[in-house]
Structure 1
């Protein structure tokens, strides 16, 4: 037996890999989603987690840790043991704009270990059923006639939805009564319940509700229409082009063989036609091969941190 153990250790040393990395995973993996259930980040995370569980041979269990624009969950994920058993699914807001919005954020997105991009997420501007405006022209006229009275829900200060709404107000020259929630899901629930007038909602949460007729889409922040919703150009706001994203991160210092295993599992999910169809059916855009992997995600995050620092200053968003 001692000879067998010694031989195994020698093989591992020869391969340059520690035993835990060779064996990974040996138990359940926890995947922190930085927003409440029901929003785009949550939906895409669960699609990825389900397929990755099958590839890795171990359960990948989603845990929702919401609050402070995703930075509470982001902080918990960043401070977890760097062993690959705690992952974080973040967004444009929580993992690129947050450093410009929160003074005491517990992590720097650029210093995390990127795993990979899941998907890009187009954004819809929606209103509750019963809102008097039937299109964007009427909506803007109504808001301008009632400055600060039309309510606008978002997923929390610094979230992708908050940034999208701030950019919308800046481009359109309007003023809302902004209502922050602990995630996109709760904001969407209040739109459906007609408790809030409007919201900026990412495709995975918006498209099913628009198609079900439980809320109305006034525009998609893109150059072409989708889900029978007018494009920003058609709606008269050609400068309002916006796309969020969701990606998987691990704590800094996670062993590279473990990162490679997780990267391969995510790539396998995105290569599965059934998974791509599910993501596309939600109005999102699965990461293309050249957008996948840790290096591509690292480049994206660094560019986005710099870009949103400029946008946040221009929009006059005060750090919290």
Structure 2
């Protein structure tokens, strides 16, 4: 009898203990710091936006989002760090997805593809632009193109990396108009402007946001329409030039990240873009917030990838 009572008591205690353990709520995500990998240099527009979003998401959650700059190879270094990270939501990427949808077709040995990531949310579009120094004699895109035609192989322009989207976008114009001009690659956008302002470059391929506040003149923005961030600047489409679309920019995570985490990140991202602190930064930068959730961003990323494959083939670019 004593043994039977002991067994019953033991079972009851076990059930209570096991049931109590199972009833414990899971720790809220994130319960420790999240590394937000920004694949571009500190101090640039992408970095500034990433830090503002990271702060807003930190304020909205139990955790802390910390920006880690992993620039290099036109964003490939940072994208690789994200794709190879453990898919647990504690390493996420932020910035343009060009390393994913462009570099994987233009750079030899890139260890990821468009399928290596989950696309959590789009926050803004990084609009590419052709710019010159304020002291430049060129006041319009037609004037610049006429000068390139008149001085073949003598004019130079800077872009943010060989086979980067900036390079491909102007190479598409060069091919379409049969121009001859020398391109100079840089490690990111920021170093282009001092070289252009010093007169060592005739013009540059950068972004609307990157050029803001600098003594430069925008001659054209890439896209079908003018950018809300630079409404007085004509688009390449309206100028009748070969056109590629703006750069999709947002949060990505490694493929296989649990749906519960990507959904939580999507919610924090959306709420973060609605925070006044974030909107103040975007307003100061002159960057419109163009939010898209996971479903829409994923569709846009896949379409962008397909379009880049087509352009790279048309240009005959060989992975380097």
Give the TM-score band, short-chain normalised. 0.7 to 0.9
CA contact (8 A) 1:207 1:227 kept: no
**Alpha-carbon spacing, 1:301–1:234, altered in 2? closer, same or farther (3 Å):** closer
The CA deviation at 1:268 is: 0.3
Q: CA distance change for structure 1 residues 196 and 256 in 2, over 3 Å: closer, same or farther?
A: same
Q: 2:260 aligns with which of 250, 257, 264?
A: 257
The size of the alignment, in residue pairs, is 306
Could you tell which deviates more after superposition, 215-224 or 227-236? 227-236
The answer for unaligned runs of 5 or more in structure 2 is 1-12
Aligned counterpart, 2:301? 301
Measured against aligned partners, the alpha-carbon deviations of 1:44-103 in whole angstroms (never above 9, x if no partner) come to: 322221211211233322122122221111111111122211111242421211221123
Cα distance change on mapping 1:207 and 1:3 into 2, 3 Å: farther
Q: In the aligned structure 1, how far is the partner of 2:132 from the partner of 2:270?
A: 36
Note if contact 1:38-1:205 (Cα within 8 Å) is conserved in structure 2. Answer: no
- 1:237 alignment partner, one of 237, 240, 245: 240
1:207 and 2:212 are equivalent in the alignment:
yes
Q: For residues 31-70 of structure 1, what are the structure 2 equivalents within 5 Å?
A: 31-70=36-75
CA contact (8 A) 1:92 1:160 kept: no
Which residue matches 1:217? 218
Could you tell me whether the CA contact under 8 Å between 2:169 and 2:243 is conserved in 1?
no
Which whole-Å CA distance do the structure 2 matches of 1:172 and 1:38 have between them?
Answer: 35
The alignment partner of 1:313 has SS state of helix
Structure 1 residue aligned with 2:8? none
Determine if contact 1:33/1:63 at 8 Å carries over to the other structure: yes
1:115 deviation in Å? Answer: 1.6
Q: Residue 160 of structure 1 corresponds to which residue in structure 2? A: 165
Show the counterpart of 1:91.
Answer: 96
Distance in 1 separating the partners of 2:184 and 2:21: 57
Deviation readout 1:16-61 (Å, 9 max, x if unpaired): xxx4xx4321221111111223444323322221211211233322
TM-score, length basis structure 1: 0.84
Q: Distance in 2 between matches of 1:282 and 1:170?
A: 33
- Relative distance call for 1:307 and 1:139 in structure 2 (3 A) is same
CA shift, 1:298, in A, is: 1.7
Separation in structure 2 between the aligned mates of residue 71 and residue 197 of structure 1, nearest angstrom: 27
For the structure 1 residues 254 and 273, does the alpha-carbon distance in structure 2 shift closer, same or farther, using more than 3 Å as the test?
A: same
- Matches of 2:137 and 2:198, distance apart in 1: 16
Give the RMSD, CA atoms, in angstroms.
Answer: 2.7
SS of residue paired to 1:161: helix
Is residue 157–residue 182 contact of structure 2 (8 Å, CA) maintained in 1?
Answer: yes
- Give how far 1:4 is off: 8.5
Structure 1, unaligned runs of 5 or more = none
Kept in 2, the 8 Å contact 1:125–1:220? The answer is yes
Per the alignment, residue 125 of structure 2 pairs with 120
Among candidates 227, 230, 245, match of residue 227 of structure 1: 230
- Deviation readout 1:187-226 (Å, 9 max, x if unpaired): 23433444422122222212332xxxx1111122343375
- Give yes or no for the alignment of 1:287 onto 2:294: no
DSSP 3-state at the match of 2:102:
helix
How far the C-alpha of 1:8 sits from its partner, in A, is 5.2
Alignment of 1:1-150 (within 5 A): 6-7=18-19, 9-11=21-23, 19=26, 22-150=27-155
Aligned to 1:246: 249
